[in-house]
Structure 1
Amino acid sequence: MLLSTFQHEFIEAGCDEAGRGCLAGPVFAAAVIFPPDYRNALLNDSKQLSEKKRTELRPIIEREALDFAVASVSAEEIDKINILNASYLAMHRALDSLKTKAAYIIVDGNRFKPYQNIPHQCVIKGDGKYLSIAAASILAKTYRDEYMDGLSKDFPHYDWLSNKGYPTVKHRNAVLEFGISPHHRKTFRVTDPQLKLF
């Protein structure tokens, strides 16, 4: 069962990102604050949920959270500062956009760049352990998927409607055939057993 808070005495924000391993598009991140002792049996890591279930949960999260925010870092910015720093920046931007100031931050994964001297805890596989991180993963994923669906209308040959910018065989082959788009991350290198793109 996922837990509601890491430390009950804090106003706690859970953070997660989506799109870190993509060849194209921004990286998105979300920050979510739930009420103390919040419960939702349906919430889980976004990767463990179907697209339909994530879509259904998004308005529930947005309605029941005390506060939430979603932010992104563009492919151009990723190329300038690298994807790890871009992931931190996206989470910082999401935290910046919260109306409620968090006193404690929990982050999915094992690394995080400190934010405004607010204490934080990195939680490996946190999106499967804490509700606020699970909710952040769902928001980041659904907002990013929606964004990539919009881009796919102008770049249908990359199949972003299906792969959302991840390096599928069809996506990699399309880059080899058509070249890169303005939305591709030019600093990514895809080596064996995958195709080298750039």
Structure 2
Amino acid sequence: MPYEAPTHTVERSLRATTGAKIIAGVDEVGRGAWAGPVTVCAAVTGLRRPPEGLTDSKLLTVKRRTALAELLTDWVTSFALGHASPEEIDALGMTAALRLAAVRALEGLPVRPDAVILDGKHDYLGDPWKVRTVIKGDQSCIAVAAASVIAKVRRDAMMAELGADCAPFGFAANAGYPSPVHKAALAESGPTEHHRLSWSYLDELPRWRHLKKNRVPAPRPAAVEIEGQLGFDF
């Protein structure tokens, strides 16, 4: 499928207009899933030429995406992942959970970015981060595309591991997103500890809708889960 390769145009613009030197591309995966965490990757790439074929993870086959992720984890100057758990999503709502995961990712970088390129229209990060939102940034910005691929592959691997103990739900194939197999398992067995219990899918399950949780504010937990590749090369 033909596509326009991402560029460093936004990064160069930020460098020229704001003086930013360390710029992180940020993208998320898992926003629409029924189970598992929402995962955010922050990636810093500098201005080097990326591996061939880099683009939005959704435009890549599983095989190509997996191979690219392996290349990218060594190619990027640094990256970090942040997760917000199903319990945090239920307690805080998706927007606040996204911010929590993104802050965890950004704080996991070895050096604080001067600016952030955030995929999408809405800035869910806010102050004190200097944010430039870019619609379809995962297709047009190299750093965001890199974050997109790494986040998708890492979260898929996490869900496959969870699926080993929840085989009927098909997490290895659906990564916690809606699918016929997932829906059938929910109707038969109800939600697992990995499911988001404040979501509307429970309204359609008469046997299990009593488990639905109303969202209530909750304090930010102390535990932080991050991982990353250190080192800078500008």
With the length of structure 1 as denominator, give the TM-score of the two structures.
0.93
Partner Cα distance (2:64, 2:99) in 1:
27
Partner Cα distance (1:187, 1:53) in 2:
34
* Residue in structure 1 matched with residue 162 of structure 2 by the alignment: 151
* Residue in structure 2 matched with residue 173 of structure 1 by the alignment: 184
* 2:116 counterpart letter in structure 1: I
* 1:182 counterpart letter in structure 2: E
CA contact (8 A) 2:25 2:147 kept: yes
Partner Cα distance (2:49, 2:129) in 1:
22
* 2:71 counterpart letter in structure 1: I
Question: Which of 6, 26, 32 does residue 2 from structure 1 map onto?
Answer: 6
Partner Cα distance (2:152, 2:125) in 1:
23
* Residue in structure 1 matched with residue 219 of structure 2 by the alignment: none
CA contact (8 A) 2:40 2:151 kept: yes
Shift of residue 85, structure 1, vs aligned partner: 1.6
CA contact (8 A) 1:4 1:34 kept: no
Q: State the SS of the aligned residue for 2:159.
A: helix
* Residue in structure 2 matched with residue 23 of structure 1 by the alignment: 34
Q: State the SS of the aligned residue for 1:53.
A: helix
Question: Which of 204, 224, 228 does residue 196 from structure 1 map onto?
Answer: 204
Partner Cα distance (1:12, 1:113) in 2:
17
* 2:6 counterpart letter in structure 1: L
Shift of residue 144, structure 1, vs aligned partner: 0.5
* Residue in structure 2 matched with residue 139 of structure 1 by the alignment: 150
Percent sequence identity over matched residues?
Answer: 35
Partner Cα distance (1:31, 1:5) in 2:
18
CA contact (8 A) 2:51 2:71 kept: no
Give a deviation string over 1:5-53, Cα, whole Å, max 9, x none. 5132222100000010000001111000012243333100000001111
* 2:63 counterpart letter in structure 1: K
Shift of residue 110, structure 1, vs aligned partner: 1.1
CA contact (8 A) 1:5 1:132 kept: no
With the length of structure 2 as denominator, give the TM-score of the two structures.
0.79
CA contact (8 A) 2:56 2:138 kept: yes
* 2:123 counterpart letter in structure 1: F
* Residue in structure 2 matched with residue 60 of structure 1 by the alignment: 71
Shift of residue 116, structure 1, vs aligned partner: 5.2
Q: State the SS of the aligned residue for 2:10.
A: coil
The structure number with the bigger radius of gyration is 2
Shift of residue 60, structure 1, vs aligned partner: 1.4
Question: Which of 170, 182, 185 does residue 193 from structure 2 map onto?
Answer: 182
Matched, 1:114 2:125: yes
* 1:6 counterpart letter in structure 2: V
Count of residues in correspondence between the two structures: 195
Q: State the SS of the aligned residue for 1:190.
A: helix
* Residue in structure 1 matched with residue 224 of structure 2 by the alignment: none
The runs of 4+ residues in structure 1 deviating greater than 6 Å are none
Q: State the SS of the aligned residue for 2:204.
A: coil
Partner Cα distance (2:9, 2:143) in 1:
8
Partner Cα distance (2:167, 2:96) in 1:
29
CA contact (8 A) 1:88 1:112 kept: no
* 1:127 counterpart letter in structure 2: D
